Amino acid sequence: MIENARPRCALTTSDFYYDLPQEYIAQSPVEPRDSARLMVLDRRKKTVEHRVFRDIVDYLDPGDALVINDSKVIPARLYGEKADTGVKIETVLLRARGNDRFETIVHPGRRCKPGTDIVFAGGLLCAKIEEVTPEGNRVMRFSYDHEKYNFYSLLDRIGQMPLPPYITKKLQNKDDYQTVYARERGSAAAPTAGLHFTPELLEKIEKKGVKIVRVMLHVGLGTFRPVKVDHVEEHVMHSEFFSVTPEAANALNAVRAAGGRIVCVGTTSCRTLESAADGDGVLHPMSDDTAIFIYPGYRFKATDALITNFHLPESTLLMLVSAFYDRERVMSAYEEAKRENYRFFSFGDAMLIQ
């Protein structure tokens, strides 16, 4: 598993706190997707601009690479009941463990011990809890009629998208919580910076001479878990599976060698590249788990610019963004975003830091 050598950090978790009234939290995406707002932070000029997301093409140069995470969100939230008592059980799939086995979050979990049988959709899908992880998650083995269904077609039929808890509005269209380039099933949450792209915008970017490179990181629900320690470097990061193909590594190394920039779409693409890069910034093909935790003091090896959303207070994502630029300037930009009525979090507006 990939972990970075942790830098010393004098900052506390409270240094990343800001107040956000509920009305700033976006409950649904804008239409069209690329009509979201875009705040542009220039690290060299120390400037802030306010644009529309489709203007992102103006900030990309021929010879640059745009790195996207093509992981696909699965309808990972399932509602079932204990086979013996009928008690209602909510299950969220976190990650595949092979052979119809998944690590899951179960609620209520106190009575769901190994050996417990859970039934979903009247028996269309069944599961047995096999073990409890040190974190308290449940590893389940699922069973179903393999001649009629495959596992993911069943999920599409009976599962719900695992929206973050701050989105309380019911999702009308599952595709709203999916990037237009999603391909590799396995995420329990969307790589939300990519939600702003449309096929037309991606085509326009490619026509400008920007290379679009796919990597993959399956996003876990740890993305939404708060940092509960006072000192930043004491936080234990959740691990997620990622993959960088030889084709992707070669393409990105060639862009860098030719003087182009690597522009990461989202913190997940950034964490993927930073996990796969050596000390010289050379990317290597690999598939592994990563628990890389990026916070101020970290030296970026493979990311030249970052497209991201506005993140939760005291979150590891806000810490990563602050590491990429400057904590005080990022927190100041967040205050300006509130004054300018930007929309925050997963369905909210975007930021480019270059």
Q: Which of 97, 123, 158 is the last residue of a domain?
A: 158
Q: Which of 92, 126, 158 is the last residue of a domain?
A: 158
Is 31 part of a structural domain of the chain? yes
Alpha carbons 344 and 354: distance in angstroms, whole number: 20
215 lies in the same domain as 300: yes
Positive/negative CA dihedral, 250, 251, 256, 257: positive
Domain with 99, as residue range(s), is: 77-158
257 lies in the same domain as 335: yes
91 lies in the same domain as 57: no
203 lies in the same domain as 111: no
Query: What pLDDT is recorded for position 224?
Result: 63
183 lies in the same domain as 36: yes
Q: What's the total number of domains in the chain?
A: 2
277 lies in the same domain as 333: yes
What's phi and psi for 273, nearest 5 deg? -65, -40
258 lies in the same domain as 109: no
Query: What pLDDT is recorded for position 345?
Result: 97
Are 143 and 127 in contact, with CB atoms under 8 Å apart?
Answer: yes
How is residue 44 annotated by DSSP?
A: T
189 lies in the same domain as 296: yes
Are 326 and 319 in contact, with CB atoms under 8 Å apart?
Answer: no
145 lies in the same domain as 277: no
Order of strands, sheet of 65-69, starting from the edge strand that comes earlier in the sequence? 47-52, 37-42, 350-353, 305-309, 262-265, 65-69, 211-217, 240-244, 286-290
Strands (E), the chain: 37-42, 47-52, 65-69, 71-73, 77-82, 88-98, 101-107, 117-120, 125-132, 138-143, 184-187, 211-217, 240-244, 262-265, 286-290, 305-309, 350-353
250 lies in the same domain as 326: yes
Q: Which of 108, 125, 158 is the last residue of a domain?
A: 158
What tens digit of pLDDT does each residue of 135-164 get? 899 999 999 999 999 999 999 999 999 998
What tens digit of pLDDT does each residue of 236-285 get? 888 899 999 999 999 999 999 999 999 999 999 999 999 999 999 999 99
- CATH number of residue 347's parent domain: 3.40.1780.10
Are 116 and 141 in contact, with CB atoms under 8 Å apart?
Answer: no
Distances (CA, A) of 168 to 90, 104, 163, 179, 182: 17, 22, 9, 20, 24
Is 215 part of a structural domain of the chain? yes
- CATH number of residue 104's parent domain: 2.40.10.240
Is 335 part of a structural domain of the chain? yes
Are 345 and 165 in contact, with CB atoms under 8 Å apart?
Answer: no
pTM for the structure as a whole: 0.94
201 lies in the same domain as 272: yes
148 lies in the same domain as 256: no
Q: Which two tokens stand for residue 190?
A: 């969307």
Question: Across the chain, which distance is largest between two alpha carbons, in Å?
Answer: 65
Is 5 part of a structural domain of the chain? no
Is 210 part of a structural domain of the chain? yes
Nearest one of 205, 178, 202, 224 to 345, comparing CA atoms: 224
The tens-digit pLDDT sequence of the chain (354 residues) is 887 767 777 899 999 999 999 999 999 999 999 999 999 999 999 999 999 999 999 999 999 999 999 999 999 999 999 999 999 999 999 988 888 999 999 999 888 999 999 999 999 999 999 999 988 999 999 999 999 999 999 999 999 999 988 999 888 898 999 999 999 999 999 999 999 999 999 999 999 999 999 999 999 877 667 789 999 989 988 889 999 999 999 999 999 999 999 999 999 999 999 999 999 999 999 999 999 999 999 999 999 999 999 999 999 999 999 999 999 999 999 999 999 999 999 999 999 999
